[in-house]
Amino acid sequence: MEMFDLTLIWAFIIGFGVIMYVLMDGFDLGVGILFPFAPSEQDRDTMMNSVAPVWDGNETWLVLGGAGLLGAFPLVYSILLPALYIGVFLMLSGLIFRGIAFEFRFKARTSRYLWNWAFAGGSTLAAFAQGVVVGTYIQGYETANGVFTGGALDWLTPFTVLTGLGLLAGYALLGSTWLIMKTEGRLQEWAYKITLPLLAAVLVVFGIISVWTPFIDDMVRDRWFSNLSVIWVLPVLSLLCAFQIFRSVRNRFEGMPFVATMGLFITTYLGLIVSRWPYLIPPDYTLWDAASAYNSQMFLLIGLLIVIPFVLVYTAWTYWVFRGKVRAGEGYH
């Protein structure tokens, strides 16, 4: 097997890990984003109970993706971390705060409101930071000889702030459709009520980003507009997913809004990959420029191919065990 093949396999594995994390941790981050706006404290208990059995397992994909990225594409770490130290620190801080809040909120009495804000604030901060990281990837990095040469705040621009807000709205949409599927009664009605405004916000922000992005990079503009090609099926599929969310909410379907929202994220994610392929560190370094040695990739690949099936089985089993509705007064804790 040639190095070329291993690099593509690793690109697929990392890409799969990223989308698994976005989908599976996105909805519980979305629940946290919506947390302060819930109708009552009892509803907040139900919201947290709906994700308590799965949230920590969902973050396994973040760990796997990060470790795989370090081993297979070390140049990414040597360039992206200096460029994104503050953004990554904010993201990890948010994840830590919400993780602690999961455990302490159920035991707190007089200080419960503080853990409410820790859960909501940590979720919001982590989601916004992830969106900023995505925006920074789209706009590219200043590099020279394999070293980041930009400033400490290059990641913070109007465009990256917009992508941060867009991902906040997207995760909130995932969260609301998750609550439609997992809850009932007043909380479910509230989730139905906020889903369509969230969908509108997502479409507006994603539309602005789609118009703005071609002006940031000539390569992206040429890829999308030099000729009409098969990649235009992706925005069409995104719009079809958005229509399906609208239709299923209006018809009071329970599972379909969440499935269609995942479809919206997947098609948008694929559009991002297509826009930058094969650049892993735009605008200068491709997958093959950033790849580690063949032996290193092969060694890590063997281990990961053993671990991933166990993670998939564990994840599927967890969701199966905790399937069904979460009702008030019931929960993992």
Burial classification of residue 274, based on how many CB atoms lie within 10 Å of its CB (0-12 exposed, 13-18 middle, 19 or more buried): middle
Read off the pLDDT of residues 110-148 as tens digits, 9 standing for 90 and up. Answer: 777 888 899 999 999 999 999 998 888 888 888 877 777
The CA distance from 101 to 178, in Å, is 20
* Mean pLDDT value across the chain: 85
Q: Is the peptide bond before 197 cis (omega within 30 degrees of 0)?
A: no
Q: What percent of the chain has pLDDT over 70?
A: 96
pLDDT in tens, 257-291: 999 999 999 988 888 888 888 877 777 788 888 88
**Bridge partners for 279 per DSSP:** 286
DSSP 8-state class, residue 37: G
Q: Predicted confidence band at 250 (pLDDT cuts at 50, 70, 90)?
A: very high
**pLDDT, tens only, 27-70:** 889 999 999 998 888 888 888 888 877 777 777 788 877 778 88
Band the pLDDT of 3: cuts 50, 70, 90. very low
Q: How many residues does the chain have?
A: 333
Residue with tokens 């671990």: 307
CB 261 within 8 A of CB 241: yes
In the prediction, which pLDDT does 40 show?
Answer: 87
| Mean pLDDT within 77-94 | 85
Statement: residue 243 has pLDDT above 50: yes
What topology is assigned to 9-322 in CATH? Answer: Formate dehydrogenase/DMSO reductase fold (1.20.1630)
pLDDT value at residue 227 = 62
Token digits of residue 35: 């947390």
In angstroms, the first-to-last Cα distance of the chain is 49
pLDDT in tens, 179-221: 999 988 899 999 999 999 999 999 999 889 888 887 777 777 7
| In the chain, domain spans | 9-322
